[in-house]
A and B are shown apart, each in its own frame.
Chain A
Amino acid sequence: MVKIEDLKRINLMKKLPVHLLDIIAKEAQLSIFSTGAQLITVNKKIDNFYMLVMGQVAIKRNITPDIDVILEYIQSGNSFGTSAMIQGTTAFYSAICQEPCEIITVSGDRMIQLFEENHELGYYIMMDVSKRYKRFMDNRAQMIFKTLSEDLDMKEDVYDTWINSTK
């Protein structure tokens, strides 16, 4: 169990009413992870939803066997591993602690169960997760554009280029 005040330090939880925070607080626990700890592995099931109280976590994915791209650094107050709360999904990235981290964790399966028991909780969390994904989506669109704009060989149809690459 963690304190409601600790959950309020997490951006995704800030706007949740106290009676919903109380439900999550009872299921959550505070853990310490050391530098280099791999919390999420690409293409594997994610067991926990993570809320970073202190420290820094790198979100990365490889583009070639030798080159990893860090998609973002998670700072305190932010969360990751939201896929743990979506049934039947796997990780799209790896998450690795860049320094000793203090993290609130909740079992993804338990969260899914809580959502089924309390749709108000499910609704508000899914609304916040979708806002977060929207920010990521917009950010990725800008990253694609910036990368291609900087390259002389700019493609006009990213979708077709990508589809062709998957064939």
Chain B
Amino acid sequence: MVDKEILKKMLFLRELPDPLIEKIGSIATLETFEKNAVVFHQHQDLTHLYMLVSGKVHFTIQSASGKALVLDKIDEGRTFGVSALMEESSSAYTAICFKDTTLVSIPGKQMHQLFVEDFKLGHILMLKVVRLFKARMEMHTRQFLLSLATHSEIKSLQ
């Protein structure tokens, strides 16, 4: 169980009424990870979503040859692994702790069950997931377009 005062600091849960935050707190736990610990690996099935209480987490993607690229850097108050709310969803990246880190961990299946029991909660939080994914997708697309614009073959066209 996680205290509602901790959860209220999470952007994902901001503006939710206390009774809904308490419901979520009842199925959440606090987990600590040391620097360089992996929260989950690329292609791993996601079972929990995470909210960053303290520390820092990097998202990286890795090639078969082992080369890694940092896609995003997650600060306190942000949420990740929300794909755990969807059935059969695996992670596109590896989440690594850049510092000693404390996370709120919430089982996706239990959260999903809360949504089905209370569609209002489900609607509010899935809308936040959509906004989160939209922002991240747009950031990744901008990163892709930048990588394309600076690609040697594109530069040669200009």
Select the stretch in B13-21, B27-35, B48-56, B133-141 that faces chain A: B133-141
Q: Please name all residues of chain A whose beta carbon is closer than 8 Å to the beta carbon of B143 when the two chains form the complex.
A: 140, 144, 158-159, 161-162
Task: Please state if A126 and B130 are interface contacts (CB–CB under 8 Å).
Answer: yes
Query: Is the pair B61, A145 in contact by a Cβ cutoff of 8 Å?
Result: yes
Q: Residues of B contacting A98 with CB < 8 Å?
A: none
Cα of A63 to Cα of B147 in the assembled complex, Å: 10
In addition to A119-B122, A148-B147, 15 A-B residue pairs with Cβ atoms within 8 Å of each other are A86-B130, A120-B119, A126-B127, A133-B133, A137-B133, A137-B136, A138-B92, A141-B140, A142-B61, A143-B144, A144-B140, A145-B69, A149-B63, A159-B72, A162-B143
Q: Are A137 and B130 in contact (CB under 8 A)?
A: no
Set of chain A residues within 8 Å of B146, measured between Cβ atoms: 161-162, 165
- In the complex, what's the smallest C-beta–C-beta distance from B142 to chain A, in angstroms? 6
How many chain B residues have a CB neighbour from A under 8 Å?
48
A144 and B130 contact, CB distance less than 8 A: no
Q: Is A123 a contact of B130 with CB atoms below 8 Å? A: no
Q: Are A158 and B71 in contact (CB under 8 A)?
A: yes
> Is chain A's binding surface mostly helix, strand, loop or mixed?
helix
A-B interface contact total, Cβ < 8 Å = 143
B123 and A89: CB pair below 8 A?
no
Question: A residues 138-167 with Cβ under 8 Å of B?
Answer: 138, 140-145, 147-162, 165
* Contact pick for B137, options A61, A120, A136, CB 8 Å: A136
Would you call A162 and B142 a contact (CB within 8 A)? yes
Q: Within the complex, which residue of B63, B133, B140 is in contact with A130, where a contact is CB–CB below 8 Å? A: B133
Q: Which residues of A contact B69 (CB under 8 A)?
A: 144-145, 148, 155-158
Q: Answer whether residue B86 sits at the interface, using C-beta atoms and an 8 A cutoff.
A: yes
**B147 lies within 8 A of A119 (CB):** no
> A149-B63, A158-B69, A159-B70 known; A130 and B129 CB under 8 Å?
yes
Give the chain A neighbours of B82 by CB distance below 8 A. Answer: 130
B81-94 toward A: CB 8 Å interface, digit per residue (1/0)?
A: 01101100100110
Q: Which residue of A lies closest to B123 (CB)?
A: A122
